[in-house]
Amino acid sequence: MRRTPAERDVTRDVGHDAKQSIRMTADRILAVPSREAGERKSRAGILIPATANVDRRLVWAEVVQVGPTVRNVEPGDRVLFSPDAGYEVEIRGEEYLILRERDVHAVASERDDGQTGLYL
């Protein structure tokens, strides 16, 4: 099974130089949150801090790995989800999110001929 570079990077130290890869289970998705989940700018250029109250705003993340029962999402896709869904985890100093497939509202992937690349 071929792994993407992002999948190879998701390892944790187990001993001196031994590493184990992380495999997602069931319907879980491991994703890297986009920068827009933190501070962002308005169209007028005003900086909006991450602590500002943004009710009902969905954010994007890039999928790194998926569990064996995930059917509609593949590594490399971008998913749209609610920021309060899922769990944050730090792996080797990098921030990731663990989501369930049912928490994903939309999937954006590479466009094929005749398709939009956005699935709602």
Structural domain of 104: 5-119
What residues contact 69, with CB distance under 8 A and at least 6 apart? Answer: 26, 27, 101
Give pLDDT tens digits for 87-99: 999 988 889 999 9
| Dihedral Cα 22, 103, 36, 29, nearest 10 deg | 10
Amino acid sitting at position 3: R
**Domain total of the chain:** 1
Half-sphere exposure of 50 (CA within 13 A, CB side): 8
The CATH number for 19's domain is 2.30.33.40
Token pair 């590493």 in the structure block, residue: 19
More confident position, 51 or 14? 51
Mean pLDDT score, 15-27: 73
Q: Are 30 and 64 in contact (CB under 8 A)?
A: yes
pLDDT at 58: 86
Note the residue count of the chain. 120
**E strand or H helix at 119, and its extent?**
strand 118-119
Please tell me the pTM assigned to this model. 0.65
pLDDT over 90, % of the chain: 39
pLDDT at 29: 95
Give pLDDT tens digits for 68-113: 999 999 999 999 999 888 899 998 888 999 999 999 999 987 766 6
pLDDT at 14: 43
- Please determine, for residue 8, whether its predicted confidence score (pLDDT) is greater than 70: no
